[in-house]
Structure 1
Amino acid sequence: MLKSLFNWKVLLNLVVAIGVFVGLVWLTFRWLEYHTKHGQEIPVPNVINKSVHDAVKILEDAGLEYSVDSATYDPKYRPFQVLKMSPFAGSRVKDGRIIELRVNPRTWAPVAIPDVINKYSGLAFQRINQVGLKVGDTIYEASIQKDAIIRMLFKGNIVKPGTLIPRFSTVDVVVGTGPMRNISIPNVIGLTVKEARVVIARSLFEVGLVEHEDGGKDESDIVYYQDPAYGDVRDQGMQIDLWASKKTPAELQAKINQLNSIYRMKVDTSLPPLQYEEVPIHQEPVYEAPPAPKREVPKPEPVKTETSKTVTSGPKTTPASGNNTTSGSNNKPAAQPTEKPKVKNVVIE
């Protein structure tokens, strides 16, 4: 058994197999080095703060690929200035590596005009400012939509909602001031329906009911009747109804008379004018409150005055007036109604 293993033929086959294996491994690594360009690295040049055109030329000369992406606009830097790069400057990369450049755009990114048509002007101004736009001139125009946005202008041209314009741009707005009063109705009889629509819109009115005689909707039919009649005055935005036919108004006189009996009210002025008499205003009776009962006021009693008492000792004395007195009692003078009361003397024994 061992003798057979050390046979020269077996050893030869073993050596050949090992050589083939080593050769395959060497060829594999060589192929990988060639395919991945192992050891062939290129330093990344510094293109920060350069313009994108100069940075692209430098990378192409160095054998590197590039991709350009715009960042958010920053007014502190020049338009198309390289702000960032990846990989960083000084790194070593292989030939053909893509270098990513972040460039400052030329201006702000465009924004869409918000849909604020027919919206209240106060809320519309807030919405315009929120998207990064500024409100310029405010133009007032007669419209049935008072204080509403009628249209918007950018550089003098009408712009629709959704239009992209540069951020921080200025837009002018047209705001309605309310309808105009007492506008004369235009005469559209004899015009086609299409022409009548233009005239009515120019006069700040709207087209209401359009009745075609044949039941169709041909805009080339001739208007033979309108309501309200031309010459009447109405407020802006009122509707004007039209009757149209392929015939001329002269051929439809009977129909016109019939419509006049319906829409043209005649006032009979032959009747005497109404007279109004003034009716006296009925006055409600005024009731007086009953008088309050009189209260009896007690009469004041006469005030009695007493003179100073004179104390004497000895026999009784007669009063100075000479009236008779009774012994052992107080002497009172006689009452005289017409004279003032006299002073009385009181004698105490």
Structure 2
Amino acid sequence: MLKSLFNWKVLLNLVIAIGVFAGLIWLTFRWLEHHTNHGQEIPVPNIVNKSIHDAVKILDDTGLEYEVDSANYNPKFRPFQVLQVYPAPGSRVKDGRTVHLTVNPRTWAPIAVPDVINKYSGLAFQRLDQVGLKIGDTIYEPSIQKDALLRILYKGNAVNPGARLPRFSVIDVVVGSGPMRNISIPNVVGLTVKEARAVITKSMFEVGLVEHEDGSKDESDIIYYQDPASGDVRDQGMQIDLWASKKTPAELRAKIEQLNSIYRMKVDTSLPPVRYEEVHNEPSYDAPVVPAPVPRRETPKPEVPKTETPKTQTTTSKPAVTGTEKPKTSTVAPATGHTAKPAASTTTQQPAQKPKAKKVVVE
């Protein structure tokens, strides 16, 4: 096998293959040098702080391509002023190399208006300020959405979310001030449902229940009844219920009377008139009232049993006294001649009176 490897034919083919490979490599590098202009370099000119028109003219004269990029507007520099160049000025590049230019635009770039409609005004103002819009006048308009941002105005015209405006543009905003109080209900009887919706919405009320007599939802039906009634006073934002039919209100008189008995009940809230009389408080000088004496209750007189006395003792008794005085009895002892104490009474005791002296005769 080694003998066949060193055959002159094999060696000749190997030398030819190496020569072809080396030739291809040499031709490739020569083509690259010719195509890329090897050794031919151009210095990048210094065009910083020049206007874009002058910078483009200089790059065209040197044979360099350019690409312009508008950066964020900076009021410190002139409009269309070249702020930056890449590659940096003085660098050597090939002929036809693209140079990137950063240019200050003429004014602020437009921005999209954020969707802040019907949002709370505090959050809406913060969002508008973040995107670079300045708020001018704040206009308050009656609305059931209190403190909500209703519209955005730019130069007097309404602006929809997504519209593009220059950065730091001054805009006016319309904010809801809340519903108004004690507003008269509009009369929509006789109008179509579509017309009634427009009138109710214009008056800052809301459409509540819409009942069609035939069960359909035809917007051309005629309104023959409404609740609350026209002329009633309500706050804005209240709902108004509607009854609609293809017939006229005159043809639905019975139905209207039935609805009146339900929604128009008369309640007597009147009160009797109040009479006001003047009262003069004068001091009185009447004598103090003395309570009447309580009559004394008489108790029955107790009976005193008679007692026998000895012959040697003589008892004298005072005759009964009529009236309020009580009878007095006395008893004399046979020997001593002293009188005995009167019997105790069941009524209130009175101070004892000293009895009169009596004559006693002893036989």
User: What TM-score, normalized by structure 2, do the two folds share?
Assistant: 0.64
Q: Give the corresponding residue for 1:282.
A: none
Query: Structure 2: how far apart are the matches of 1:11 and 1:129?
Result: 83
Q: Give the corresponding residue for 1:303.
A: none
CA positional deviation for 1:214? 2.6
1:23-77 CA-to-partner distances (Å, cap 9, x unmatched) read 5444232212122221232332332223334433433343322222222221011
CA positional deviation for 1:264? 1.2
Q: Give the corresponding residue for 2:212.
A: 212
List aligned pairs for 1:152-231, cutoff 5 A.
Answer: 152-231=152-231
SS in 2 for 1:111: strand
Partner amino acid, structure 1, of 2:130: Q
1:164-190 CA-to-partner distances (Å, cap 9, x unmatched) read 322222121222223222222111111
Count of aligned pairs: 270
> Structure 2 vs 1, CA of residues 168 and 266 (structure 1 numbering), >3 Å: closer, same or farther?
same
Between 1:116-125 and 1:44-53, the stretch displaced more is 116-125
> Structure 2 vs 1, CA of residues 35 and 277 (structure 1 numbering), >3 Å: closer, same or farther?
same
CA positional deviation for 1:234? 1.4
Partner amino acid, structure 2, of 1:98: T
SS in 2 for 1:258: helix
> Structure 2 vs 1, CA of residues 234 and 11 (structure 1 numbering), >3 Å: closer, same or farther?
closer
Query: Structure 1: how far apart are the matches of 2:198 and 2:186?
Result: 11
SS in 1 for 2:257: helix
Between 1:130-139 and 1:45-54, the stretch displaced more is 45-54
CA positional deviation for 1:220? 1.8
Partner amino acid, structure 1, of 2:206: E
Q: Give the corresponding residue for 1:140.
A: 140
Query: Structure 2: how far apart are the matches of 1:21 and 1:122?
Result: 77
Partner amino acid, structure 2, of 1:134: K
Q: Give the corresponding residue for 1:85.
A: 85
SS in 2 for 1:72: coil
Partner amino acid, structure 2, of 1:109: A
Q: Give the corresponding residue for 2:30.
A: 30
Q: Give the corresponding residue for 1:74.
A: 74
SS in 1 for 2:175: strand
Query: Structure 1: how far apart are the matches of 2:15 and 2:118?
Result: 93
Partner amino acid, structure 2, of 1:117: I
Query: Structure 2: how far apart are the matches of 1:238 and 1:140?
Result: 20
Query: Structure 2: how far apart are the matches of 1:21 and 1:127?
Result: 68
Query: Structure 1: how far apart are the matches of 2:137 and 2:79?
Result: 30
Query: Structure 1: how far apart are the matches of 2:224 and 2:50?
Result: 75
Task: Give aligned-pair identity as a percent.
Answer: 78
Query: Structure 2: how far apart are the matches of 1:19 and 1:141?
Result: 92
Q: Give the corresponding residue for 1:254.
A: 254
Between 1:155-164 and 1:196-205, the stretch displaced more is 155-164
Say whether the 8 Å CA contact 2:186–2:199 is kept in structure 1: yes
SS in 2 for 1:150: strand
Query: Structure 1: how far apart are the matches of 2:102 and 2:236?
Result: 57
Query: Structure 2: how far apart are the matches of 1:12 and 1:127?
Result: 82
Whether 2:266 is the aligned partner of 1:266: answer yes
Query: Structure 1: how far apart are the matches of 2:98 and 2:31?
Result: 23
Structure 2, unaligned stretches of length 5 or more?
1-5, 277-363
Q: Give the corresponding residue for 1:233.
A: 233
Between 1:71-80 and 1:47-56, the stretch displaced more is 47-56
Partner amino acid, structure 2, of 1:244: A
Structure 1, unaligned stretches of length 5 or more?
279-349
User: What TM-score, normalized by structure 1, do the two folds share?
Assistant: 0.67
Partner amino acid, structure 2, of 1:186: P
1:112-144 CA-to-partner distances (Å, cap 9, x unmatched) read 434443444344433433332222111122223
Between 1:169-178 and 1:156-165, the stretch displaced more is 156-165
Partner amino acid, structure 2, of 1:178: G
1:309-345 CA-to-partner distances (Å, cap 9, x unmatched) read xxxxxxxxxxxxxxxxxxxxxxxxxxxxxxxxxxxxx
Query: Structure 2: how far apart are the matches of 1:245 and 1:225?
Result: 10
Query: Structure 1: how far apart are the matches of 2:96 and 2:52?
Result: 19
Query: Structure 2: how far apart are the matches of 1:53 and 1:158?
Result: 38
